[in-house]
Structure 1
Amino acid sequence: MSSASREPGSDVDLWPAIKELPKFSISVSLDAKAIHATQLPAIAKIAEDIPTQSVTSSTKSDWIDIDIRPGDSLTRIFSRLKLDPAVAITIAAHRKGQVLASLKTGPRLKILLADREFAELKYEKSLNSLLHVRTTDNGLQFNTVSRSFEVIEQKVTGVITSSLFESGLKAGLSESLLHKLLSIFQWQIDFNTDIRSGDRFAVIYEKKFLEGKKIGTGPVLAATFILSGNPHHAIRHTDSAGIARYFSPEGISMEGKFLRSPVRNSRITSGYSYGDSIPY
C-alpha cells in the first residue's frame, strides 16, 4: 500500500477535512427508481507510487516499435524490415490474425527479431486487448491477451492566489478536471463572485494506468472548497444501477434547482471582477 502523494502547489493540507467527513446513508428518488446506499465509498486511500513499466533487459533491445502509417499492411511492414513477406501473409490469413489484415495507424505494433528473423509480434487491438503472435516448433501460436487498467487515487490540494484556473493548473489539475469541479459545485458556488484570494481546495480523483503508462483520468471522487472559511464538500456515489451522483456529507444531492454558476463550454478564463472577488 502506498502513502499519500502530493502534487505541485499542495502546500496546504486539506486532506483531514475530507478524510473526516462523516459516513451516511442515502435514500433519494431518481426517475421513480429508489437509490439506496448504506455507505459512501471509502476515500481515505491515497497512492503516491506511480508504477513504471518493467522491461527485461534480455528482450528490450530486440523489440522493434512500429509506427503504422496510413495504408500500411503487415506485408509491407515485413518488407521494410527485410523479413519474409510470406510469414506476414500467413499471419494475417489466420482466423485469429484477421485483425492484422486492416491495421490501425499509430504506435500499435511491436515485432521481435531473433537472428534477423521474425520471432514474435504484439499488436494493440484496443487499450485493454493485445494480440500476441509468436513462432514455435509447431508453427505460429496466436494468443489474445486481456490487459487490466490500474487505477490510482490521486490527491491535489492548493491555494487560490490569482484565479481558480491558474491556481488549479499550478497545483497539477488539468483543464478537464477544473471543468468537472465547476460542474459539481455549480449549484452551491458562484465562481464569478464567491472566490477570494487565500481560498483553498482539495480534490481526489482517479488516474488510469496501463503497463505503467498513464492513459487517462477518471472521475472526481471527492472535493472540498474552503471559501472565506466556509467548507463546501462533495462526494461521488454510484448506485446499484450504475448512476453516479455527487452528494454533501449530509446525503443531500449537489444538484439544486437553480444554478449559481452555469458551467461554460469554453475554456475557463480570467477576467475583471468587482470588489475583492477573484475571477475563475
Structure 2
Amino acid sequence: MLLAVQRLLDWVDGQHPFLTGAFDALRRGITRYPKTLMASLASLLIAGGGGAFAVANLGPDISDLPVVNITTPVDIAHIQAQAASLDLVDLQLTRTDTTRSADTPENLLRRLGLVDPETAAFLRKNPLAKLALQQAGRSVSAEVNSDQQLRSLRVRWLKNENDTFFQRLVIKRTPQGLEAALEASPMNTSLRMTGGTVARSLYDAADEARLPDPVINQLTQIFSNQIDFHRTLRKGARFSVVYEVLEADGEPLRTGRVLSAEFTNDNQQFEAVWFQDPGQKGSYYDMEGKSLSRAYLAAPLAFSRKTSGFSMRLHPIFQTMRAHQGVDYAAPTGTPAQSVGDGVVAFAGVQGGYGNMVIVNHGGNHSTVYAHLSRIQVKKGQTVQKGQVVGAVGSTGWSTGPHLHFEFRVSGVHVDPQKIIQMAQSTPISPAEKPRFNTLVAQARMQLQAAAQMRESNIQ
C-alpha cells in the first residue's frame, strides 16, 4: 500500500511542479513513520466502511414497501377467427371394451358411450356382426365423432389359440349407410417385463404384478425341475420375467412365450433364457448354457398335491391291497390337466373305471394316461405339445373325489412316472451356436435387471 502511495505522489509531483517541496516532506514522513501512516489509513478505511454500513442500514426495509400490481393487456391477433376454426374441428374419439356373454347390441354400445338405434339394429341383423359378437372376451373399439355418432366399429379375435393372424370385423359408416367387412391381419409382437414377490401364494403375487395366468404357468414349467412349487416355495420368493405379447391393432390379444426369467427361492437363484438352434426345437437354458428342460414336465398339473404314489396301497373303493400303477394328484374340479410331453392323442373317451380318459403317445414306446377327467379337450389323432391342456380334473369312473390319475407306460408296461421324467433330458446347445447364445444371454440379463427394478419399485 505504501508503494502505491509513493507512486501516486510521484505522479502528482510531475503534474504540479510548484508543490515539489511539500511532496518531498511527505515522502520523508512515509519513510520515517510507515507503521503510523498504515494505522491511520486503516482507521480511515474502517471508519468509512462503518459509515457506509450505517448509511445502508438507514434505508427502508424491502418487506415494508407496498406491493404494486401492474396489468398489461395482451392482444391476440385474430382471436375470433381462431375460435371459429376450433369450432370446425371434428374430434375423433376412440373407446374400447370387451364383449360379454349377456351382451345385447344396445348394452355394448352403451358401454362404448353410444345410444345409436341404427347401429344397434345393424349389429343385430348383419350376419358378420352377429358372428363376431356372439362370443365373450373379444376386443371391441369404436371411433366416435364429437357429436357422439359412430364412425367405425372394430371387433378383434383369434380363430384358433395358436394363430399368428387375427380376425378383424370392421363396421364403417359410409354415405350409403353402415357396411361390414371381415379381414385377417398378422399380429405384432411386443415385449413386457415385470416381477413380483411371494407373500401368500405364487398366483397372488402374479395377480399383484398383473402377470397373466399363461405366463405364470410357463414360469412354473420352466423351473419345475429345480423348484418344487408344491412344497418348497417360501414366503419372500422373488421372480422377474420377460415375455411376449401378441397384439392386434395395438390391443393385446394373447400372451406369447416367456423369453427369460429368474426366480429366487430360499436364498437360491435360478435363471432361464429361451434359445433355439436353427433347425432344432427351442428350449430353456440357464445362463451358462445348461438345459433346464426335460422331454417331459415334472407333473401334469401346475399346482396340486400328490395323494398316492406308484406303490402298493389300500384301494379306496374295494378296500383291498392293490398295486397303484400311477400317481394321483388332488385338485379342484376343472383344474387344467396338461400333456407332460409332445405327442399324438391315441385315445380320448370313456374307459371303465378310468372314467373320462386321454392317452397320449410320445414316441419311443412312451405313453401317458390322464384319467377321471370332468371333460376332455382333445380328439383322437390330434397332435399335442408339452404343456398343452388335454382335459380338466374331475371325479368320473372309480373315484371318491376330484383328482387326476396319471400313468406312464413304456411299451405298454406301467412304470414309475418320476423315474422316466427325471431321466429324459433335452438336447444341449451346439458349440457352433454358443456365441449367438452368449449374445442373447447378455441382452436377457439387461432386461431382467429392468424387470427387477420394476418389482422393487412396486414394493416401495
TM-score, normalising length: structure 1: 0.48
Higher helix share: 2
